[in-house]
Structure 1
């Protein structure tokens, strides 16, 4: 009886191995890297259809440093206006002489330092993380000039 069981078990193992090789040959799937055409087709299907580029932004590292510095008015209109035109979070409005007088009395260097380091509700560099110190100082000079 044991020899019959061993013979049937051996036959089933051989049959399983044969079926494995037949299935492998019929499926057309080879080893890793053999089906490059299907891989290329899949890559083509999932690639991005476009990209986003911000006008004036450089994709190269240090691109902002090579660009010419923005004027104080440009920095104000692009970043500072959000708070200093509306008075948000207690920011002095540009043109409000009474609000700016005590600040102007502190001196331009102090005001420029506040723009760079932040003060009270104003975060460092305001909303212009990519502004240089000179651009921030120019924006402060612009706001002071409009508020005297």
Structure 2
């Protein structure tokens, strides 16, 4: 009789421990599944203001020019004013710096809004224009 009681006790202990580990494994699996299927980005609705990512502060005008503007403004592609070329920039700057800045933000002619720097802030766009027109 004592053997039967011991076996039942051990069986109950085994089943109890097995159910605890199984439940714990199921919880971990659900968490892992949720992390694997979580969205990796956000959807931006038309008309809503988009968030801009920051890497620790504004980038310099030279950095923006070197990564986003140089492709068109170094050679004057599709009528883009060339880097520090007074003849190219004069007619634009006559309209005022703020007009040039707003045109860069909103796009003009062949230049898309913000050029090729969709993640640039307004101040970074301004710094890039200041860099391209420095000394003119």
**TM-score category, normalised to shorter length:** 0.5 to 0.7
1:98 maps to what in 2?
Answer: 87
SS in 2 for 1:65: coil
RMSD in angstroms over aligned alpha carbons? 2.9
Contact 2:60 2:124 (C-alpha < 8 Å) held by counterparts = yes
TM-score by length of 2: 0.60
Which residue, 93, 106, 124 being the options, matches 2:113? 124
Change (3 A) 1:112 1:63: closer
Q: Contact 1:108 / 1:141 at 8 angstroms: preserved in 2?
A: no
Conserved? CA contact 1:116–1:125, under 8 Å: yes
In 2, Cα distance between equivalents of 1:107 and 1:101: 10
> Residues 63 and 131 from structure 1, CA distance in 2 versus in 1: closer, same or farther, beyond 3 angstroms?
closer
Per chain length, whose mean CA-contact separation is higher, i.e. which structure has more relative contact order (CA < 8 Å, sep 6+)?
2
Shift of 1:104: 1.3
Structure 2 portions without partners, runs of 5+: 1-39, 43-50
Offset of 1:95 from its aligned partner? 2.2
Pairs aligned (count): 93
Consecutive unaligned residues in structure 1, runs of 5 or more: 1-58
Q: Does 1:140 align with 2:129?
A: yes
| Residues 1-148 of structure 1 mapped to structure 2, 5 A cutoff | 64-65=53-54, 67-146=56-135, 148=136
SS at match of 1:116: helix
CA contact (8 A) 1:92 1:100 kept: yes
